[in-house]
Amino acid sequence: MLDSISPIDGRYSKDVQDLKLFFTEESLIKYRIKVEIEYLIALCGVVHIKELQPLSSKKKTELRNLYQKFTTKDAKQVKKIEAKTNHDVKAVEYFLRDKLENSGNKKLLPWVHFSLTSEDINNLAYSLMWRDGLIHAYLPIAKKLLSKIKSFAKNHKDIALLSLTHGQPASPTTIGKEFAVFYNRLTRQLNNLKEHKLLGKFSGATGTWGAHVTAYPQVNWIKFSEKFIQSLNLESNLITTQIESHDSLVESYQILSRINNIFIDLCQDVWFYVSRGVFAQKRIDQEVGSSTMPHKINPINFENAEGNLNIANSLLIGFAKKLQISRLQRDLSNSTVLRNQGVALAHSLIALKNMLKGLNRLSVNKPAVLKELNDHWEILAEPIQTVLRKNGKLDAYEDLKNLTRGEKITQDDIAKFIKNLDIQKSDKDYLLNLTPQSYIGMSSKIVELI
């Protein structure tokens, strides 16, 4: 792999092996053949087409084997034909005609690609590739990562953590609660990704079924196309130009880009936690953190993930910007864009695998977390002034502001201030027992909501 231009096919090839089932040139040809064959089988079942007869189960299996048992040798044959036709879908048609003729199915030859335009095949093939890549390669890893985030949240729900808002010390939370936030956000978006339906069109050269109706006006081609697209587990788009508008595919890309943004947010937060000493990273023998500084254990998995997520989003946003636009009834500028959808998913998948590795290396540095909290007793200004308000103190906020804003406050300073307060004894006792570590509100219970 040393001669690969893209790191996806070189450095990271082992991380994206599963995607090769869906996004290589060979896979694209295979999906096109699947659409062509399933269409041919469906045509044979239309009663108004007297020239065709319904196929036996054996014959259907024989035809489906053309894509189910498709080989690299077959793909090379298609590419050899394409070198002459300079048209990739027409090469698939000629390949299938050769296969059918050689297998004694000469009567079916005129019906391969009958009344279709290339986009009828391509839009379905690309949507099937994207859907299957998500289901079989991306979502299983996303599920593992989500489970890891959830368990991390549950296991650390009671460990207090100094918050930083605007980069400044703020009211504490817990490590578990902060990870629960990410779990909650990701769960919603991943459910959107799983439930999202992709559209498909199958209506000829300009979306009118013109050729179909010319040949067989008595056939309800709208109903036929709708049923055929649904048989591929896609939803039909009946009102199109030559191309399917790609709106639903773009919607899926945009959901994935939102997921990637949430993961970027997680990567950056973990990076800062490691930098602050909140997390320690597992030491791995023989691993090197720096070429010159022997002591270092860098958060490289999260940095790598962040980089790959940004690359993925650059592509996904570019796809969304381009694919919804096509000059008049069709231009070819979307073709090369769609060929790269697997690249965006590959970078997303590499990122998820790196985050999984990174999370498995993390442990909480409890002494460092506690020290950080105890260095900032000023964060108790919030609960103290709130209790003072409860006791009718109108200038409570201002009093605490004068005491704490921009000042280094110790436990003794806080205790002295509280002891001089004229408030209910129960409230005073509560405040005297309050610490930065215990001031976590309902953080632990919030984690139980996930």
Q: Which of 290, 314, 333, 438 is labelled catalytic? A: 290
d(CA 385, CA 382): 6
Pull the structure tokens for residue 257: 């880009």
Pull the structure tokens for residue 343: 């690249």
Q: Which of 56, 166, 291, 363 is labelled catalytic? A: 166
- Strand 362-364 vs strand 279-281: parallel, antiparallel, or unpaired? antiparallel
d(CA 187, CA 190): 5
d(CA 409, CA 299): 33
Pull the structure tokens for residue 229: 């697209």
DSSP H or E stretch at residue 92: helix 88-102
d(CA 207, CA 205): 6
Pull the structure tokens for residue 20: 């090769």
d(CA 23, CA 26): 8
Which residues lie below 8 Å from residue 422, measured CB to CB, with a gap of 6+? none
**156 catalytically annotated:** no
Question: 71-97 burial, b for 16+ CB within 10 Å, e for fewer?
Answer: eeebbebbeebbeeeeebbebbbbbbb
Report the C-alpha dihedral over residues 358, 359, 360, 364, rounded to 10 degrees. Answer: 120
Which residues lie below 8 Å from residue 72, measured CB to CB, with a gap of 6+? 26
Pull the structure tokens for residue 28: 């694209």
CB of 299 within 8 A of CB of 274?
Answer: yes
DSSP H or E stretch at residue 377: none
**163 catalytically annotated:** no
- Please, is 134 exposed, middle or buried when counting C-beta atoms within 10 Å of its C-beta (0-12, 13-18, 19+)? buried
* Active site residues per annotation: 166, 290
